[in-house]
Structure 1
């Protein structure tokens, strides 16, 4: 029987409180991510941090991967000391998501990095980051306000994967980030910019895509729908019967 693709979504490890329980360690991700996958035709599977050597085993049970947004990756991964504004207390997540991305890239699995996820993708591919955009842009439109997403314009690059998915010359997207791609990782190319020149999307071979904004916070499903289609197509190829003799 055919089934909807299983889309793994990375999660946070944080202290949270609910009901009678206070400051318990939990693995969570905002519900908008799971709704984004569901509304686009996939089944979201949450991926809490695990031993990095298990990443290929985990991905073997999935059809696509989403690396979610969140705090900054430790700049030690790209050979820099932390900026005073960097939030780098995510050791387990840095290790796990890096392992997931390496395994997905090696397997040719369809993948999408969102905000932090795009940054981790770039770092895993050997790139670096601008650690604090207000240091390098005249007017910061990227960061939103505490607890609230902002919006700004992005311009997809024609002829790219993203440009095919979002063919309009520019669109307004939900945003909340203070870091961005600096040196581009090996095998990646830029597929969207902000008007101030900030890299807003990168992509690689197959369906390897990172977006700096938060599409799950809006109503535009096109990026996730494309990931689900790619996952369905890849799974169909894997399940094709093989003639023997």
Structure 2
């Protein structure tokens, strides 16, 4: 069953027609047509991390972080616009979140204090197209069901590309979550900020992968790139 089909099975009947209209506007069944060069640009941070780990791995600090030399190297190699120069991974949130995500989607692992590539990571590091597809298909994965559902719905809004106001993204995300049963503990609807907080780490990851235009986007305007819309459609075409 596709991701979007599974969402529909849990949706209030009154919401199904509107949901299907959004699916049509988002063109989620379209073939994914994206040049390999565009895929390469999007997966570049992930390739850098996998290559840096390499076949021999990286020994982590006693606290379980990347060593300072690797963090400094990452801060110069990865153009993320981080406001301060960091030498500790705990002070470099983008790197910390990227490493955690690559572990969660089966590309990196930790064994006996060493950060290592998995067999899948080794297979995909020099295959940008396949790596792009793997990242798309696993983008919504989370141990938290609410985060997973919220990410799927965010990806649907991204695929639609109908607006760029951040607040509208958040409001529609909150409304969409309500249609599949996610509300506050007291039964009240989620606020737009509460809905966004569910996907904040995923949103930051998508932003660093180039789903949003880094040059013109901000915290108030999320301008979806062509590659970002394709990435979202690929994610929504994955199987649950």
Give the TM-score normalised by structure 2: 0.27
Structure with more of its chain in helix, by fraction = 2
Structure with more of its chain in strand, by fraction = 1
Give the TM-score normalised by structure 1: 0.26
